[in-house]
Amino acid sequence: MKPLVVGNWKMHRTGSEASRLARAIRRQSGSIRGVELVLAPPFTALAEVRKAVRGSRLALAAQNVHWQAQGAFTGEISPKMLTAAGCRFVIIGHSERRHLFGESDQIAAKKISSALIAGLRPILCVGETWGERRKGKTMRVVARQLRTALKGLEKGAIKKITIAYEPVWAIGTGRNATADEASEVHLGIRSLLKKLAGKNIAEDCRILYGGSV
């Protein structure tokens, strides 16, 4: 499976601004081979970015999703709405969703299940805070997040999920995870995936790094 590079634009760019940036990325990425490229603009820019990348190798991702198919959930967006908007991927469990909006491991699990049913490919974010790392709890935290999010899923479904290790302490804090630190956690994640889904699935799953460099 090809390596995956995802650009999460967070709460930046209007529709027209996002379209210009997407077209620029499309031009610059034309010569890149052997890598799958994904853009995750804000919801309000999805339509414009979809037009800008149509016919290219660039894929669309959403930054969040609700676990219900529809209902009275003001301000939320469903998996079906995202697929209709052209999204192939969706980011779930981002540290900003967890720490700013109180989203739990259980909520991430419900979102993953609903996203898979809708045909979306989840990008599950996991990672520890600085305090947890200092106490030596990194893998304990990451393992808890993974086990909860993947609980009850069939092995074939787990294969469709990308895991993004994003240490909370290395996002906009001035601290960077070293290559060795990121690699150590990646190895731990793959080892846990082997226990949960078997060697073949674990080796096929893509694991990303999502912190500062």
pLDDT, tens digit, 9 for 90 and up, residues 137-183: 999 999 999 999 999 999 999 999 999 999 999 887 888 899 999 99
pLDDT in the model for residue 212: 74
pLDDT in the model for residue 127: 97
pLDDT in the model for residue 80: 98
Cα distances from 83 to residues 86, 114, 130, in angstroms, run 5, 12, 36
Query: Which tokens go with 161?
Result: 């999920």
Cα distances from 102 to residues 46, 63, 69, 72, 98, in angstroms, run 25, 16, 21, 20, 5
Say if strands 87-92 and 162-165 run parallel, antiparallel, or are unpaired: unpaired
pLDDT confidence tier of residue 213, bands split at 50, 70 and 90: low
Tens-place pLDDT, residues 60-118: 999 999 999 999 999 999 999 999 999 999 999 999 999 999 999 999 999 999 999 99
In whole angstroms, give the CA distance from residue 110 to residue 29. 34
Choice among 96, 103, 128, 166 that is catalytic:
166
The DSSP secondary-structure symbol of 87 reads E
Choice among 66, 94, 103, 128 that is catalytic:
94
Is residue 142 within 8 A of residue 162, CB to CB? The reply is no
Q: What is the mean predicted confidence (pLDDT) over 40-68?
A: 98
Q: What b-and-e string marks burial along 93-126, b requiring 16 or more CB atoms within 10 Å of the CB?
A: bbbbbbeeeebebebbbebbbbbbebebbbbbbb
pTM value is 0.96
Q: What b-and-e string marks burial along 54-89, b requiring 16 or more CB atoms within 10 Å of the CB?
A: eeeebbbbbbbbbbeeeeeeeeebbbbbbbeebbeb
Could you give the 3-state DSSP secondary structure of residue 207? Answer: strand
Active-site residue 17, yes or no? no
Is residue 160 within 8 A of residue 124, CB to CB? The reply is no
Pseudo-torsion of CA 161, 42, 54, 211, nearest 10°?
-50
Indicate the average pLDDT of the chain: 96
Per the document, the length of the chain is 213
Q: What is the mean predicted confidence (pLDDT) over 8-37?
A: 95
Active-site residue 66, yes or no? no
Residue 109 CA to its chain's centroid (Å)? 13
CA neighbours within 13 Å on the CB side: how many for 35? Answer: 11
Nearest to 33, CA basis, from 6, 68, 3, 65: 3
The residue assigned the tokens 């790392």 is 133
